[in-house]
Amino acid sequence: MSKNIAKGNLNEKIASLNYHNQNKALLISSKLLRTYDLGQVDLSYIKNGRIHLVEVKSSQTGISHLSRRQKHRIYNSADFIAQILDVEVQINYLNGCQMRGHSLT
């Protein structure tokens, strides 16, 4: 396993522990998302009736390293989840201590 993958996995574990200790965890099947050629979700939770999808990046630049295709797949995942559950979905990008949120209804 490369150093970057190991660092990414560790960051996902830490973020998951932090968010899931404070919010209701939501498990979203990667297999289901891949079936529809949608992006996988690093972690997700429910807070105040809204679903939050969190893309965890290990670098400080975070979202700027995502390709157009990756961004498109994540947005499509959020749209898919919003439609099938009829709920607002917010995408958050977590890199280091900062998080930027983007909402979809």
Question: pTM for this structure?
Answer: 0.73
**Tell me: the pLDDT tens digits for 25-74?**
888 999 999 999 998 888 899 999 999 998 877 665 556 667 888 889 99
**Greater confidence, 23 or 90?**
90
Q: Classify domain 3-104 by CATH number.
A: 3.40.1350
d(CA 99, CA 92): 6
By percentage, how much of the chain surpasses pLDDT 90?
36
Angle at 22 between CA 17 and CA 26, to 5 degrees: 70
Residue extents of the structural domains in the chain: 3-104
Give me the chain's average pLDDT, please.
Answer: 77
